[in-house]
């Protein structure tokens, strides 16, 4: 069955960096768009970024553009989120999700999330 397992979250100081990973299995990873979504404590869901199946297209929320970079390694069936210049407001649980085969597609499968805390 489809499995998405995030890792790499933790405590980081404002201005710091962190790299999240998402290990995927149970489907043909290279055929699908992948996305990151986050949820601040006690808040709703916020879309962060997506990447196309072949890494040709990426897209970012305005709140993270220029600071976060999404990437993937289809050979390793893994998704990544490189986060720089982190702010307190980036504190959230970060979920990876498998989308469809086109941009603006549904998030069909979700990981369990990895928590990121930005605090001094």
Partner 1 sequence: NFILTQPHSVSESLGKTVTISCTRSGDSIASKYVQWYRQRPGSAPTTLIYEHDERPSGVPDRFSASIDTSSNSASLTISGLETEDEADYYCHSYDNMNHGIFGGGTRLTVL
Binding mask 38-77 for partner 1 (x = CB under 8 A): ------xxxx--x--------x-xx---------------
- Tell whether residue 95 is a contact of partner 1 (CB under 8 A): yes
Q: How far is the CB of 67 from partner 1 (least distance, A)?
A: 16
Query: Of 41, 56, 66, 106, which lies in the binding site for partner 1, with binding defined by CB under 8 A?
Result: 106
**Under rule CB under 8 A, how many of the chain's residues touch partner 1?**
22
Distance CA 68, CA 89 (A): 14
Distance CA 44, CA 4 (A): 21
Q: How far is the CB of 10 from partner 1 (least distance, A)?
A: 19
């Amino acid at each position: 069955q489809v499995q998405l397992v995030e890792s790499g979250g933790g405590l980081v100081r404002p201005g710091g960096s962190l790299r999240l990973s998402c290990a995927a299995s149970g489907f043909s990873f290279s055929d699908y768009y992948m996305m990151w979504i986050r949820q601040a404590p006690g808040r709703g869901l916020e879309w962060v970024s997506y990447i196309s199946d072949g890494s040709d297209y990426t897209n970012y929320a305005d709140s993270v553009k220029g600071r976060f970079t999404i990437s993937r390694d289809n050979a390793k069936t893994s998704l990544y989120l490189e986060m720089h210049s982190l702010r307190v407001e980036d504190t959230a649980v970060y979920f990876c999700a498998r989308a469809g085969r086109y941009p603006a597609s549904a998030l069909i499968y979700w990981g369990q999330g990895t928590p990121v805390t930005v605090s001094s």
